[in-house]
Amino acid sequence: MPREIEPPTVQREFLVQALEQGKRLDGRLPLEQRPFELSFGAELGSVECRMGKTAASEDEVMITRLLEKSIRRTEAVDREALCIVAGEKVSSRGEAGNLLDCASIAAMTALKHFRKPEVEVHGDEVIVVRNLNFLLASIPPRASHFGFSADMQHSPDERAPLPLAIHHNPLCLTFAYFEDLQPILDPTHLEETLASGTMTVTLNAQRELCVLSKAGGSALSVDDVMAVVRVGVERVRESVKQIEDALVKDAAQRVVEVR
């Protein structure tokens, strides 16, 4: 992969001078995050998150790993609740993603937006709500051996689809570090390129630090880490509220009842 061209020295000096004055090139304050917008697709669980200008990233593997740590390993979703019959049938769900901080918002919003069909289990017979075609299409032929059939369905008018059991809302926040300057939240591509190092913290609204990932730069003290955690908690609370408001607004516009 070709190495990215270093920004010119004059650009570096201008950026550092602005940061020394507590200013950023896009007009934000050092600890100000870009606003994000959420849009929902026709299918429940289909979410797009836009945070400023987005672009394809060569860091896809790193982003995937950090999201896995942030969401799956912290048990944000009750995976046992996805099970219909122990050891036999499990609902599937999808995640969306982009750049890391944006991707974590999109992934958690998609999980909260998704609805699984309600089921009834009568002995070996499973009856599932008929409302998510892609779930029914994923039923393997051998499922009929366990008494499961796409013909055994409730109408969504009878039983509204159910949300996933979300234990908490872990979101990623990335800080960039410059020598002898305060860290900046949600760095732009240029800021990230010129920074001496970055650190991503994954937090929830309960003030729990779920994941910490640091790339490059000098060592940080416990006080340095706790300082950005305190800032991050407030940002996460604001983001979770915006997510909840967007979900409520989307639910009110849907024909099928959303619980």
Q: Check the CA dihedral 168-202-236-82 and report its sign.
A: negative
Q: How high is the pLDDT of residue 8? A: 85
| pLDDT of 185 over the 70 cut | yes
Mean pLDDT of the chain: 74
- Let me know: does 64 contact 217? Beta carbons within 8 Å: no
Q: Which domain holds residue 171?
A: 15-77+167-252
Give the closest residue to 101 by CA, choosing from 140, 131, 62, 128.
Answer: 62
- Look at 86 and 213; give whichever has higher pLDDT: 213
Stretch 208-225: mean pLDDT: 88
Q: How high is the pLDDT of residue 256? A: 60
| pLDDT of 100 over the 60 cut | yes
Q: How high is the pLDDT of residue 95? A: 33
| pLDDT of 97 over the 70 cut | no
Stretch 73-85: mean pLDDT: 57
| pLDDT band (50, 70, 90) for residue 125 | low
Question: 44 and 87: one domain?
Answer: no
- Point out the domain boundary residue: 132, 163, 194: 163
> Residue 44 sits in a domain of what CATH number?
3.30.230.70
